[in-house]
Chains A and B, each alone.
Chain A
């Protein structure tokens, strides 16, 4: 349980930050947090908003949990983490409702469901609770960027194919017949499946 704080090592800090963006990307490699990944990526702006909201919650929760981790008895640690995460999600929910009502309306229930995104509890349990606050925030930032990146990829692809637009701007003009299925739930599975396949193919090839 009690580990001595490792000396500040810039290369380790860099490692912890970078790993979440590509090598251990939460959505494409660890396949965590699939519910928002599939549900709210029907447009680029929704995906970006969801990714950013998740990143904010992830960073705040990792910081807090890294700070309080040592004082929380093992038996109640998960419940304490969930209380922390749920509080942060609700605060983000209120803030978004006040500052960006249109985005809040689009994300709807999925905003509140950030609480059960296993990515957040996963990072809290696997990393934040055992590491100093600085590293925990860097890890969360990397994972958050990776998650936002993954969601945005899906969102942009699905919006371009299914709606002929990107971030709401029309790309192809009126003659384009949108591939509607791409912005419907099956489109989420299709696009995610293809991306996971690519990641897996390249991962295996690199390993061999």
Chain B
């Protein structure tokens, strides 16, 4: 047909062997890289979470994790399921209990918004908000974490009655959040996540003496 001279066809054994060896070596490399980087990756995630908790509950000096077991929260012992519902108790100077940092997530304009907010049960107010992950539109929806004015809406926000978003500049009641003009969907999404978590979790949070004591010095 043509004057092309094709090299002889190698046996299928050789083909299988080549791919097997390539796969084995690749597997070894991946396992090695995973084992080497995993501790750092986990430490990064823990540090990021710690920073976020310290920010949403102002004055925090120490924190510990609580997980939902049945109908109430108990201290996490490290053996809980990875997807267990968790909140973080935050303590200030001298181990005084300050409040809880509550994670939440829900659909935003483009993708899931993940956030963490601080809640002070004594005053029944939200005391801080941090957006952990979002892919909202640059310049518009990303104001939920880039616009400091929106963040300030969540520094003393009553949770009863349920938080509502109002048109920018018209918020007067303590449970009103001024929406961001141009980012209505994103600001409503943030508030919806908060309201859902509040309805779901606030009644189950430990109160009074049931709140775990502050962790010993240097503990997580």
Contact = CB atoms under 8 A, between A and B. Distances in A.
B41 interface: yes
Given A87-B30, A178-B139, A184-B137, A79 B37 contact: no
B41 A97 contact: yes
B162 to A, nearest CB: 31
A186 to B, nearest CB: 12
B7 interface: yes
A101 B48 contact: yes
B69 interface: no
B14 interface: yes
A184 B23 CA distance: 39
Contacts, number: 69
Interface in B138-177: 138-140
Given A74-B7, A91-B33, A94-B33, A183 B139 contact: yes
Contacts of B34: 94
B15 A98 contact: no
Contact of B30 (A91, A99, A101): A91
A84 interface: yes
A80 B16 CA distance: 11
B138 A180 contact: yes
A94 B9 CA distance: 39
A101 B43 CA distance: 11
B41 A94 contact: yes
Contacts of B29: 87, 91
Contacts of A75: 9-10, 15
A6 interface: no
A162 interface: yes
A162 B139 contact: yes
A83 B41 CA distance: 24
Nearest to B15: A76
**Chain A interface main SS type:** helix
B2 interface: no
Contacts of A79: 19, 22
A73 B22 contact: no
B149 to A, nearest CB: 14
A80 B30 contact: no
A87 B30 CA distance: 7
Contact of B44 (A1, A72, A101): A101
Interface in B45-97: 45, 48
A169 B36 CA distance: 34
Nearest to A86: B26
Contact of B138 (A76, A101, A183): A183
B18 A98 contact: no
A42 interface: yes
A150 B7 CA distance: 40
Contact of A180 (B18, B48, B140): B140
B18 A72 contact: yes
A105 interface: yes
B5 to A, nearest CB: 10
9 nearest CB pairs, A to B: A180-B139, A98-B40, A87-B26, A98-B37, A94-B37, A91-B33, A73-B10, A183-B138, A83-B22
